[in-house]
Structure 1
Amino acid sequence: MSRNVFVAGAGAGIVLLFAGIYGMGSISTMSWGLPAFIVGMFLLVGDVVILAGRLVGGGGPSGGVFGQMKSFLGTGNQDLVGTGMPATALVASMRDTGTMVNDQLVVAFDLRVQPASGAPYVVAHRQILPRLLMGAVLPGRTVQVWTDPADPQRLVIDWSALPTQV
């Protein structure tokens, strides 16, 4: 369903909620005040929960607030390891982003990806660089990557395969 439907439902819930509060203020209007209040509460709470879930969860692996944050911090795309398309990538350049996750640096990489079949292409990618590999990952080295078949710009560097000198 469209987000607008849930926003309209939450708005109707607020209206019914306040009408119910008004209606419960008198004995003569209590017969419709309490049901209006209860229906308003259910509408408001239900639609807010659904809207919050859609905002946070998003529609895909990198959708929603948490998916975007994981992508920014370099902790997303781990679902591609073993399930994506394997490729190699030449580290053209790398720079510190100034961001750390669990005392590990998030590095911005400029990669030249060479898929098993097809022409090479360039990707700007952010990912955590394990401390043990800091001296091994340098511009000019080749790393193993896993790419998303549906979106080749989405990838993850596989740190279980050591970088090699070209």
Structure 2
Amino acid sequence: MAARSACAIPRASIPRHRGTRRWPKLGYVVVKPNYRGSGGYGRDFVKEGRKPNGYGKRMQDDKNDVVTWFAAQGYVDPKRACIMGWSYGGYAAARGAQRDPDVWRCAIAGAGVYDMAMMNRWDANNLSTFGSKFQDTSDDPNGISSAQNTDGRWAPILIVAGL
């Protein structure tokens, strides 16, 4: 089997993953990874993403591992992987483009949070049912904020705002 282009879509992302059912017919491998912190696997699994260095680091590593695994199986060409998402998926896509441009060759980020420190100031009273705000999982919110890390090489990115 020839390795194909891949698109990873974080689970908590685009509503019903619009249009992604057509992509395999066009030759793409579409992956919707269950990274630590994603829903549907119980409270403990969600809490894995709330641990220190979850957002923007360990959760991002999980998404990168998807490309590595599928490439090792011969299903995808690791030099043709894109990440896309909406809301948290938009954050993850932008973070992937900024942090890991050698893994992700392109990104489509929709309605994401790109500045965690600003989000923390704006959303100061919103504690989740899991006992912590997602942006508090890092000791350096600016370090996991793509908007605060514009220097360096990024993968090409399309940022979508609105509906």
TM-score (norm 1): 0.19
- Name the TM-score, length of structure 2 as normaliser: 0.19
| Structure of greater relative contact order (alpha carbons < 8 Å, 6+ residues apart) | 2
Q: Name which one, 1 or 2, has greater alpha-carbon Rg.
A: 1
Higher strand share: 1
